[in-house]
A and B are shown apart, each in its own frame.
Chain A
Amino acid sequence: MRSQNWRLAATIILVILAFVGFWNTLRLWTLTGEDRRKMETRKPGSVNELERKAMRLGLDLQGGIHVVLRVMMEKIEPSARVDAVDRAIQVIRNRVDFTGVAEPIIQKQGDDRIIIDLPGYTDAERAEDIIGQTAQLEFKLLESYDNAQMIIARIDSVVTQLRKAGSDAGAAGNLSEGEPEAGAVTPLDTAQKTDDILADLMGTTGDSTTADELLLESEENPFSQYLDPYLANDKSNTPWPGYMVSAKDKKMLEAMLALPQVQRLIPSEVQFAWSTRSEIRSSSEVCFLYVLKSKVQFLGKYLERITLGRGQFQGHTVDFKLSGQSSAAFARLTGANIDKPLAIVIDNKVESAPMISSKIRKDGQITMGSGATLQDAQNLAIVLKAGALPAPVEIIAKNVVGPTLGSDSINKGFKASIVGLILVLAYIAFYYRISGLIADVGLLFNLFFLLSIMATLGATLTMPGIAGVILTMGMSVDSNILIFERIREELRLGKTVRASIDAGYQRAWAAILDSHVTTLITAGALFVLGSGTIKGFAVSLFWGVLISLFTAYVITKLIFDFRKQAKTISI
């Protein structure tokens, strides 16, 4: 009887603990839409708080974004690499906090990777914009118009020369017209090579004819004909090297600029830079090309108290304040360059190049490009507030789950679990009668304990996790089947009920232990493997198996101990 007492005590204590652990989750799961509204009006944020306390749902169930970033160490100085990932994590955490995503997970993986989970957030584009920007903000002056024009004229002439060589190659190709692959056997090796280089520069996804066009078209100004000067001072009408370019020509101009022969022409103190985004002007998509002085005049990290503002006319602005030395430096810079444009360069792209109208000492304003939306301005404000990343990052894996798919999965997972549970309960009750019903009680306890433990430990419930729960329901029945089959055999041999139950439990123990241990080992290995969703499976499998061992040998055993007194037993 002593063993029954401790079994009873353990059961009661565990049931109470499980209830406590599962309480918040149970409350949340049973909330109706009406209840939610009532709770929110009574105390705003209380539903969120409950959600935080309840079992966490994986991204596959509640929707959300999972991103794996690689910090591009090769792009920064070796001395800066030591803590680059940790600093990047800090910056990204700040940025994500500004977006208001609840419970983001941001952690380091390996040497140069960062995993970011944004549960419930499904605006993938914005998330990428906020997380992925290096946000290196620099202020640069524009090159003088005359200098810029001179460089552009030189580019024109070099491209024309290259084209001439190219058209020779083209003529050679024309000789053997009719054979589609004739170009591959052109006798002019050098021209062929240039063609290859150009084709490479255009990117493999690019239109393959563009490279040919680039070489074969015989306009006089192959480069400058696409540039439409648009930036000029309203008062003095001085032109500045800011050019409007039709968006469809951008790729070609980029390719021309990337030619090594062209690169050699551009002095190191000058740089060509594209606008951050394209916009629609008189119903065609355009973007802008600027010729800047490479020297960084002022760095974005000195900006303080960044807020969203509203521009003079319609555009959006991001306002900032300056203080102390940086304020003086900015005043010097702006004071010396009144009526000249100042390019606001973010990650080597020009956001805008507004004219400096007066000396700016304390209150500055970043004018957003005219194509920018309010959200672009918000995103910029966020990344500036959180600071620049210590190194550029690239997204190497991403998973976005929309809310519909998530709720669909929850519904299906829930239905599958309920139907699976009912089928198993019915089968066992049918096959083993009263004893089967006892096993069913054990199974229900099992499920309850499992969910409670997962909620208490802060485990995340994923779709594979639900599969793990269902699977352990099936497997945990195995313990009972082993025991019951054994009891039946003993009864068949003519033993008493008491002796049969004792023997059944005793002899089944070895097999039950074996099956549990092997499953626990598998679950452990899967947990080490450690990808988000699989971890969910491993966790529910692990605890499910452990708990089933407990229910079989403590809870159902408890009931069977009471049945030992009976003359016959339904099994």
Chain B
Amino acid sequence: MFSLIGVPKIDFIGKRKISFLFSLFLIVVGLYAFIMILLGGGNMGIDFVGGVMVQGHFEKPATIDALRAAITSEFTDAQVNEVKDFSFPYAFIVKTKRPETESQGAQEIKRISALIKERFPDNKFVEDSESIIGPAVGEQLRKDTRLAVILALLGILTYIALRFDFRSGVAATVAMIHDVLAVIGIFYVLGLEFDLLVLSALMTLAGYSLTDKVVVYDRIRENLRKFRTKADFVPCVNRSINETLSRTINTSTTVVVVVVMVFLGGQTLRNFALALILGVIIGTYSSIFVASPIVIEWESRFPKRFK
């Protein structure tokens, strides 16, 4: 039997003051970011707010600064990014966002191509992809997204409510929200783009995070059957965390490993993968340091033996 971790006896619960403080910080940042996004801020993808995207590569060397200077001379809000490890070097993505009318995008994309041609007269820019999303389509997607998120949340919460008692259900949900908010906060602070893919990563994460907590709660429930006195509650929870630690970390590791591969697998999925990686790491942390301590705090204030 090979084991990296075995069943350790670490006092996770004792460290809950520090972890609560840290989590409080994550939640505050995340909530701020979430509210800013709801108010129309944040670096939203063109699929949500509308806009145009042109991806292409130059046939001869070109720098991102030269391209950015050319583009921003007319489109001050445009984003210009380099695409690394594409089949060709000197590959770039240009984006403008939030068009006011449906036809503006088509005009902008023509103008961007023309502008690049003017500024780089003897260096051909080969377009590999372009995308226009009008404001109406963005609006529709925002609506659909709200629906999907609500649907997923309702579904998952209903399941949790059916499967678990009130306290562990609420605690797991709180920890899940903590994880998702933390990722939103980190994305917001780093100025990373929220697009539809990142949103699906967050939704996947919500499901993953919940079950990660539920595994620990399952174990607590099982162990509580063996220890019935009140004084045993805290050690019992701590023991459950330790017993499931090996599983928690192993599963997270494999998921992170594969998602890192996705991260290395190209531009389109980079933010999606990053959201998942961050989420799984934070989720693992919160499974150990946040989810169960919540139950303990609750129990110590309103004693009603956790079952």
Contacts and interface: CB of A to CB of B under 8 A. Distances in A.
Interface of A: 60, 68, 70, 110, 124, 205, 394-402, 404-405, 407-409, 412-413, 415-417, 419-420, 423-424, 427-428, 430-433, 463-464, 466-467, 470-471, 473-475, 477-478, 481-482, 485, 488-489, 491-492, 507, 510-511, 514-515, 517-519, 521-522, 524-526, 528-531, 533-534, 537-538, 541, 571
Contact of B211 (A401, A415, A515): A515
Given A491-B1, A518-B210, A474 B255 contact: yes
Given A409-B268, A467-B262, A511-B215, 18 more contacts: A395-B102, A395-B106, A397-B132, A397-B134, A405-B128, A412-B266, A427-B254, A431-B4, A471-B255, A478-B254, A481-B254, A514-B214, A514-B215, A521-B155, A522-B155, A529-B145, A531-B47, A534-B196
Nearest to B151: A525
Contacts of B35: none
28 contacts: A396-B134, A396-B136, A405-B129, A412-B266, A415-B265, A416-B266, A420-B262, A463-B266, A463-B268, A474-B256, A475-B255, A481-B251, A491-B1, A511-B211, A514-B215, A515-B208, A515-B214, A518-B160, A521-B207, A522-B155, A524-B155, A525-B152, A526-B152, A526-B200, A528-B148, A529-B148, A530-B144, A533-B196
B246 interface: yes
Chain B contact residues, majority secondary structure: helix
A531 B141 contact: yes
B79 interface: no
Contacts of B145: 529
Given A404-B87, A471-B204, A521-B152, A478 B251 contact: yes
Nearest to B149: A525
Interface string B193-214: 0001100100110111011101
A396 B159 CA distance: 39
Contact of A525 (B127, B159, B203, B212): B203
Interface in B114-158: 127-134, 136-137, 140-141, 144-145, 147-149, 151-152, 155-156
Interface in B58-112: 85-88, 102-103, 106-107, 111
B258 A433 contact: no
B151 A528 contact: yes
Residue from A482, A518, A533, A571 whose CB has the most chain B CB atoms within 10 Å: A518
A157 B207 CA distance: 73
A521 B255 contact: no
Contact of A417 (B197, B255, B261): B261
Closest 8 CB pairs of A and B: A416-B265, A515-B211, A525-B152, A420-B261, A529-B148, A474-B258, A396-B134, A521-B155
Contacts of B236: none
Contact of A413 (B55, B160, B211, B265): B265
Contacts of B276: 471
Contacts of A394: 102-103
B191 to A, nearest CB: 23
Given A402-B128, A427-B254, A511-B215, A519 B155 contact: no
B272 A464 contact: yes
B299 interface: no
Nearest to A65: B130
Nearest to B55: A405
Contacts of B141: 531
A482 B252 CA distance: 12
B247 A481 contact: yes
A307 to B, nearest CB: 32
B43 interface: no
B2 A431 contact: yes
A541 B268 CA distance: 18
A518 B163 CA distance: 11
Residue from A400, A482, A492 whose CB has the most chain B CB atoms within 10 Å: A400
Contact of A514 (B144, B151, B211, B243): B211
Residue from A408, A510, A571 whose CB has the most chain B CB atoms within 10 Å: A408
A536 to B, nearest CB: 10
A466 B272 CA distance: 12
B159 A70 contact: no
Contacts of A416: 261-262, 264-266
